Structure 1
């Protein structure tokens, strides 16, 4: 059984999937607990400036906990559409950077939780793919969209039909994850990135997150992008962070984004 823990480290919120014995498998109650934790984080903004999602033990998450699922009465549609999807959207909607730290497997529902993050830092030997052929199920949790977008048709079908996994290094090369580092260095690497993010311009990051998501979802024409960039940059110019950043550059010192 997996426990969802929320830990606050000053400006860093940490959402922990804690069930090493179950390989951090997630059931409906876990998803509701994640949703509740995300709501708490949203209420704590701006004192919280970044969210880290990670799993305890050797894996990030092996996916949905099906150990006690009754296939005759299980409602897969309701589980995904009414329980998982709102969690995915709530993570994505947070106006702060969200980092997923992935070691070991991130499969099915586990991959979906990681994919909701803005940045995925993975161990080079992590595992990503589609294990569903072994149980006669469909790839889900948004993975079709991610795989097709980054890998194309043939590689996506390869992973689905063969059940083969990509390593973290292969996933980074394909753009499935942000970066892959040696497993022994992953925690230290992520902590360094968290420290950099919390000292950055929070308002600009929030605008960037919304804009990049919009571009990814809508794929507007270049002319529209240029026009929107100009509008957003003027909005950024009016923030204290923008003024501080420019003055720091001109004065050849490190900016202090408060």
Structure 2
């Protein structure tokens, strides 16, 4: 496991040919901070190169999968927009390398997934959620464009009308509702989550390795084409939104647990 030994924000366990990567960020909801963002940009390449696994399970530690961005990091980005500009290459790499990984990835959605956390979950190949977990992309609520891949993947899963409603409102939905509309594959009670993940993993691993991997490769080709078409513009618009006055106000209001006083600027 030498390739994975340097990770600070992930823990790794093995069961046969299944490798589980668990998000372990500081705080109760595994929020994305600078270190986690940096590690996500290399994680999926390292998982793809791991010779001892054929299937990846991606999950979160504790009560959340990854519930959005760290607010101290947000405030740093508002104070110094150069820090936001600097993460754009890694933001692109996260999405590209996740889709490039030819091993099947099951998302074990154990709890809240928001913003980039939701994007990562939804870019996995099979998403199995705790029915009480919540998922959504509330970028707009913190004054940002949903530029990290959310505007790409949500319409592919639930259609443009539904996707735009959720992306423009920033509303969250439960795992059960997400399964009902086709955003995730399955939603089960919490005490059945591990069994369902194991069942789906076993069914995938029962098939010839390269047939599975290469089927994933060709199925992801349209998504990769969309990423190539949209990602640069998505990130550019997200960086522009970080400069807006309402971005700073939205972050401050969230931090202070009050309604934002938006100016329209």
TM-score range, shorter chain: 0.7 to 0.9
Higher relative contact order (CA 8 A, sep 6+): 2
> Is the Cα contact below 8 Å between 1:114 and 1:120 reproduced in 2?
yes
| Bigger CA radius of gyration | 1
Counterpart position of 1:5: 11
1:198 and 2:205 equivalent? yes
Pairwise CA distance, 1:16 = 0.7
Counterpart position of 1:159: 166
Corresponding residue to 1:76 among 84, 103, 112: 84
Q: Aligned partners of 1:168, 1:20: CA distance in 2, in Å?
A: 24
Q: What is the RMSD computed on CA atoms of the aligned residues?
A: 2.3
Pairwise CA distance, 1:217 = 5.2
1:48 and 2:53 equivalent? yes
**CA separation of 1:36 and 1:131: change in aligned 2, threshold 3 A:** closer
1:96 and 2:113 equivalent? no
> Is the Cα contact below 8 Å between 1:12 and 1:198 reproduced in 2?
no
Q: Give 5+ residue unaligned stretches, structure 1.
A: 220-258
1:114 and 2:140 equivalent? no
Counterpart position of 2:251: none
Pairwise CA distance, 1:206 = 1.2
Pairwise CA distance, 1:52 = 0.6
> Is the Cα contact below 8 Å between 2:28 and 2:62 reproduced in 1?
no
**CA separation of 1:44 and 1:155: change in aligned 2, threshold 3 A:** closer
Counterpart position of 1:133: 140
- Once structures 1 and 2 are overlaid, which stretch shifts more, 67-76 or 186-195? 67-76
The 5 Å alignment of 1:211-230 reads: 211-216=218-223
> Is the Cα contact below 8 Å between 2:116 and 2:150 reproduced in 1?
no
Q: Secondary structure of 1:175's match?
A: coil
Q: TM-score, normalised by structure 1?
A: 0.74
Pairwise CA distance, 1:99 = 0.8
Corresponding residue to 2:23 among 17, 34, 42: 17
Q: Secondary structure of 1:16's match?
A: strand
Corresponding residue to 2:175 among 148, 168, 183: 168
Q: Secondary structure of 1:60's match?
A: strand
Pairwise CA distance, 1:35 = 3.9
> Is the Cα contact below 8 Å between 2:119 and 2:153 reproduced in 1?
no
Q: Secondary structure of 1:61's match?
A: strand
Q: Give 5+ residue unaligned stretches, structure 2.
A: 1-7, 227-265
